[in-house]
Amino acid sequence: MTVATPSMSLPVGGQPPSPVVETAAPPAGAALADARARRLAAAIAQGDETAFRELYDGYQARLFRLALVLARGEETLAQDAVQAAFIIAARKLHGAESADHLWNWLARVTRQQVAKIWKQRRPGADVVEVTPLADCAADAPPDSALEECLDAALLTLPPDDREVIAWFYFDRLSHKDIAERLGATPKAVSSRLERARARLRSAIAHQLSHET
């Protein structure tokens, strides 16, 4: 299977699961999500490129949020780690028992890739602790705390910074599109984005210093 992943975006992460009552049947939405995860994993194992595209579209946004925090705001490192994770998924994802099971597998691969790339680029530097990668562990710890860390970091930014980050990452607008909204030049937008990214990196590092 040929793996081609487009530019990463920075959308909103998923919500924490609701408490489960043992005597109640799973919600219809959860059952559908689990069935979809099983279908995608099985199809990808057979080399189905349409299924791989569906997997990518469904998970790349949340994985990028996770990788961005693990990489302490280093956007390029996070993008490379997520792309590497999907390449591994195309080759090694053989099955999933549920939507949570599939997410945990992808998240662990992403964590491993962040650590690997970080060590290659920044020898001796610290990185958020990465748990060993299991083949397809169903009991992987939730990553909601890291996703909440990113949300908290974004909220510390000035409104103008949050706006331009939202346009660029959430709405996937180009520099030219943002420039037209702001009545500015693409070069000015590029500079503004760079400043916003720097503040976001600092905010993520600050949040992690209180979490770890």
Sequential pLDDT tens for the chain (212 residues): 656 554 443 333 444 444 444 445 556 788 999 999 999 999 999 999 999 999 999 998 889 888 888 888 888 898 899 999 999 999 999 999 999 999 999 999 999 999 999 888 765 555 544 433 333 333 433 466 677 777 788 888 899 998 998 888 767 789 999 999 999 999 999 999 999 888 888 888 777 776 54
Instruction: Encode pLDDT of 85-104 as tens digits.
Output: 999 999 999 999 999 999 99
pTM tops 0.75: no
Q: Where does CATH 1.10.10.10 sit in the chain?
A: 147-211
Closest C-alpha to 129, from 141, 120, 139 = 141
Tokens describing residue 163:
């706006």
Q: Where does CATH 1.10.1740.10 sit in the chain?
A: 28-130
The secondary structure of 71-88 as a DSSP string is TTT-HHHHHHHHHHHHHH
Closest C-alpha to 35, from 99, 95, 101 = 99
Helix%, strand%, coil% for the chain, nearest 5: 65, 0, 35
Closest C-alpha to 54, from 79, 37, 78 = 37
The dotted CATH code for 28-130 is 1.10.1740.10
Cα–Cα distance measured from residue 4 to residue 9, given in angstroms and rounded to the nearest whole number = 15
Cα–Cα distance measured from residue 17 to residue 190, given in angstroms and rounded to the nearest whole number = 38
Phi–psi pair at 119, nearest 5 degrees: -65, -35
For domain 147-211, the question of CATH label 1.10.10.10 is answered with yes
Q: 75-92 and 49-70 helices cross at what angle (nearest 10)?
A: 140
Tokens describing residue 5:
């992943």
Cα–Cα distance measured from residue 128 to residue 209, given in angstroms and rounded to the nearest whole number = 10
